[in-house]
Chain A
Amino acid sequence: MSAALDTLLHNAAVWRGSEHSRAESESIPSGFDAFDNVLGGWPLGALIELIPRREGIGELSLLLPALARLSKDERWIALINPPYIPYAPALFHAGIDLAKIVVIRAPGTADVLWSMEQALRSGTCSAVLGWPAAMTEQAIRRLQLATETGRVLGAYFTQPGAVPRPSPVPYRLQIAGSIDDIRIEVLKRRGGSLTSPLNMGPVSRSRPASRP
């Protein structure tokens, strides 16, 4: 890029479309350059829908670097209705302070959504991840409001392989590839969708995280 163009782009009066989502709200670095360059990190205060193409492709590991960072805070990291046991040795290995993790098992979808809303809204969580069996448009609206109130990293996983459907959720990301080569398709974000998928590269499975 020419020097003249560079100075022009650094002028505060110049607004670039790709900066849109960054300017709008707070975020937390994801630990993946490809992701942070485009989305500016995981947004705080905006609900995120995560659609894994299938199980076991690093869909949870993708969030672990951000959770490790957030776990330095005194607030909770809430895992609501996870489909399996969130395995403590793996979370510890990723650098997460386990004392901040709280796992919530709710019997029905209504209780899962209620727990998510309570956790998101309370302001005592830094991150809330939910695995609801089903989601309605009305529930998304409520959870989005709670996410805004709590200014928290709020995300929920759909069933693996679910077909993306339009809904009022501000962020919709589809996860594909494998744990050593995760690809993210940004189907929806604040400031327009993205055409090309993000190649994230490998996550912590093959790259031991540095201990704090």
Chain B
Amino acid sequence: MLWLCLNFPRLPIEVFLRAGTPSEPLVVAGSGNASLVVACDEHAAAAGIRSGMALSAAYALSPQLIVRTRDTNAEQSCLEQIALWALQFTSQVSLLAPDSLLLEIGASLKLFGGLDALCKRINGSAAQLGFDTLVAVAPTPRGAHWLAGAGFGVIVEEHKALRHHLDRLPVTCLDADADTFKSLTRTGIRSIGQLASLPRDALARRFGQRLLDQLYRAFGDLPDPQPAFTPPSRFAAHLALPSPVSEAEALLFGAHRLILQMTGYLSASNAGVTRLRLALEDENRKTTDVIVALSIPSRDPKHLLNLLRERLSNIALPARSEAMALEALDIAQLAPRNFSFLPDATHVREERATLVERLRARLGNDAVHGLSLFPDARPEFAWHETEPGAIAQSGPPLLRPAWLLHHPRRLKLQDGHPWLDGELRILDGPERIETGWWDGGDVMRDYFVARNGNGATFWIYRERSIEKNWFLHGIFS
């Protein structure tokens, strides 16, 4: 077993910063009366503000400071969302509140091309999500957690080497109460190494078995089972925006991060999304829903973001969005695909579906359709709009024009002959169509192919009613 600990040292502030950086300095303060700065962004740090500083001191340094109260609930749910994303790298992920994740990666090394490649991939992917990370790898879960928590981003594969690294860590890594730390300091014990070199039975008597067990577990002398994070059956993630947003591009920046989380979750469950909802929440808690539907399940973040971009570009956005939530409404399993040298038909069909989705996202669902024949003798009903790609019916070979008018157009007559940019000369016909009496749309027509003096050829008919009017119905384009 090999454990990778992902530590998020700036999580308290990143909860607010993921969707974009505000122009004013931003700090996160602890709750309570004498509030202290817990974390600060780059602008605040540049102004000289440090974490641990009193809020009043921070205000003195930067009067236009934006202060947000630390939101531990948001941090916890953020951590859970990152855990969902992390499931694409391993099936065993554990949450270590308040700011770390543990991944068992021993079984994933081969798939991802070795330890270095995997670490690089996890780091890069986490940065895209909008988080600073510190990665430590160790053969024991607690060892990895201590190393990452103390800021040592090292990769340790052997138990022997691990002991060496852990010895240098401060005792503050331990999970203990303030009294224990006080008495440790009083006895001059600062590092794990110093503590571990003391006689074990004396240690247990003085500080309790619990503390000793922590050491044993970190060194790998005691088993240390980790509760595995179980993903919920559906995906929903929430993102608070640092300042109210009205432009689509700024919204997409945040949405991109949520989409990456979702695609991580989807690849863990080998599924794709077929319908998703982005809910934009304004300052009055009113939400605007943006729904994207796909014909073929997908977990390609680029494609999903493109669809969202097109949808956002043609709806009325709320004037000031303060938060957004992404939810996968419908999920479908992706069929496993063998990699083949030549692009196969299924692959092309999946690819081409993305074009239809893109066009529909911008132009609307009805603006894109396919064509099929329909067994009806009336020309205007002999075809149907269908879903693009639907299996086409077969029909009788008939002489028909390439263009059909949406509505037949009444033709003028000159000396009793139909006229359209000149006298129409009959080339072919009549073809008698007399049907439809059963549904009220009855048709009694004689169709002709006719041409005017300019060479333009038309499909015209004469009504067989009393009026005997002439109509233009098609164009031999």
Which residues of A approach B to under 8 Å, CB–CB?
Answer: 54-61, 64, 74-76, 82-93, 97-107, 111, 114-115, 118-119, 122-125, 176-181, 205, 208, 211
Q: In the complex, A86→B404 CA distance in Å?
A: 7
Cα distance A211–B394 in the bound complex, in angstroms: 11
B402 touches A64 (CB 8 A): yes
Cβ–Cβ contact B370 & A85, under 8 A: no
- B359 on the interface (CB 8 Å rule)? yes
Known: A84-B403, A118-B359, A178-B456. A55 touches B475 (CB 8 A): yes
Contacts of B403 in A (CB 8 A): 60, 82-87
CA distance A125 to B389 in the complex (A): 12
Digitize B424-456: 1 where CB-to-A-CB distance is under 8 Å, 0 elsewhere. Answer: 000000000000000000000000010100111
Q: Are A124 and B370 in contact (CB under 8 A)?
A: no
A75 and B348 in contact, given A87-B404, A102-B356, A115-B359 (Cβ under 8 angstroms): yes
A190 to B87 CA separation, bound complex (whole angstroms): 54
Residue B369 lies at the interface, judged by CB distance under 8 Å to chain A:
yes
Contact (A99, B390) CB under 8 Å given A55-B475, A84-B405: yes
A57 touches B359 (CB 8 A): no
Q: A87-B400, A122-B352 are in contact. List 13 more A-B contacts (CB 8 A).
A: A54-B456, A61-B476, A85-B404, A86-B402, A88-B383, A89-B400, A93-B399, A97-B392, A107-B367, A111-B362, A124-B348, A125-B355, A178-B456
Among B385, B398, B477, point to the contact of A93 (Cβ < 8 A). Answer: B398
Flag whether B457 is at the interface (Cβ < 8 A).
Answer: yes
Residue among B385, B389, B392, B449 with most chain A CB within 10 A: B392
| 28 CB < 8 A contacts A-B | A57-B457, A74-B349, A86-B403, A87-B401, A87-B403, A88-B371, A88-B382, A89-B379, A90-B400, A93-B397, A97-B392, A99-B392, A100-B389, A101-B371, A102-B369, A104-B367, A104-B368, A105-B367, A106-B363, A111-B362, A115-B363, A118-B359, A119-B359, A122-B352, A180-B457, A205-B476, A208-B397, A211-B397
Q: Which residues from chain A contact B359 at a C-beta distance below 8 Å?
A: 104, 115, 118-119
- Top 10 A-B pairs, shortest CB-CB distance: A178-B455, A88-B383, A56-B456, A84-B403, A124-B352, A98-B392, A60-B477, A74-B348, A87-B404, A90-B400
Q: Which of B362, B371, B397 contacts A86 (CB 8 A)?
A: B371
Q: How far is the CB of B460 from chain A (nearest CB, A)?
A: 11
Give Cα A9 to B346, complex, Å: 45
B401 touches A90 (CB 8 A): yes
Bound: A9/B363 CA distance, A: 53
Q: Is the CB of A99 within 8 A of B454?
A: no
Partner of A179, one of B370, B371, B385, B457: B457
Residue in B355, B373, B385, B392 whose CB lies within 8 Å of A119: B355
Judge whether B400 and A93 touch: CB under 8 Å.
Answer: yes
Cα distance, A174 to B423, chains bound together (Å): 25
Q: Is the interface of A mostly helix, strand, loop or mixed?
A: mixed
Say yes or no: is B142 at the interface (Cβ < 8 Å to chain A): no
Residues of B in contact with A (beta carbons under 8 Å apart): 345, 348-349, 351-352, 354-356, 358-359, 362-363, 366-373, 379, 382-385, 388-392, 394-395, 397-406, 421, 449, 451, 454-458, 474-477
Query: CB distance B373 to A92 under 8 Å?
Result: yes
Give the shortest distance, in Å, between B372 (CB) and chain A (any CB).
6
Docked pose: A56 CA to B367 CA in angstroms: 25
In contact, A205 and B399 (Cβ under 8 angstroms): yes
Tell me the complex Cα distance, A93–B345, Å.
25
A154 CB to nearest B CB, Å: 14
In the bound complex, residues from chain B placing their C-beta under 8 Å from that of A84 are 403-406, 475, 477
Cβ–Cβ < 8 Å partners of A98 in chain B: 370-373, 392
The answer to whether residues A122 and B475 also contact, given A54-B454, A89-B398, A103-B371 and a CB cut-off of 8 A, is no
Chain B contacts of A92 at CB under 8 A? Answer: 373, 392, 394-395
Q: Which A residues touch B369, using CB under 8 A?
A: 102-103
Contact A74 B352 (CB under 8 A): yes
CA–CA, A125 and B355, complex, Å: 9
| B451 nearest in chain A by CB position | A178
Nearest-CB residue, chain B, relative to A93: B397
With both chains docked as a complex, state the minimum distance between the C-beta of A166 and any C-beta of chain B, in angstroms: 26
Assembly CA distance A84 to B475 (angstroms):
9
Cβ-defined contact, B348 with A102, below 8 A:
no
A32 to B403, CA, bound (A): 22
Interface contact A91-B358, CB-CB below 8 Å: no
**Residues of chain A contacted by B367 (CB below 8 angstroms):** 104-107
Known: A99-B392, A124-B348, A124-B351. A61 touches B371 (CB 8 A): no
Please measure, in the bound complex, the distance between the C-alpha atom of A181 and the C-alpha atom of B362, giving whole angstroms: 41
Chain A neighbourhood of B345, CB < 8 A: 74
In-complex Cβ contact of B368 among A64, A82, A85, A103 (8 A): A103
Contact between A87 and B474 (Cβ–Cβ < 8 Å)?
A: yes
Pick from B382, B395, B476 the residue with the most CB of A within 10 Å: B476
Looking at B371, B389, B394, which has the most chain A CB atoms within 10 Å of its CB? B371
Shortest C-beta distance, A64 to chain B (Å), equals: 7
B352 touches A87 (CB 8 A): no
**Chain A contacts for B392, CB-based, 8 A:** 92, 97-99
For B370, the chain A residues whose CB sits under 8 A away are 98-99, 101-103
Are B455 and A102 within 8 A (Cβ)? no
The residues of B that contact A208 with a CB separation of less than 8 Å are: 397
Q: How far is the CB of A178 from chain B (nearest CB, A)?
A: 3
In Å, the complex CA distance between A118 and B405 comes to: 27
CA distance A58 to B352 in the complex (A): 29
CA distance A181 to B427 in the complex (A): 14
Q: Which residues of A contact B400 (CB under 8 A)?
A: 87, 89-90, 93
What's the nearest-Cβ distance from chain A to residue B456, in Å? 4
Q: Which residues of B contact A55 (CB under 8 A)?
A: 456, 475, 477
Tell whether, in the assembled complex, residue A124 and residue B355 are in contact, meaning their CB atoms are under 8 Å apart: yes
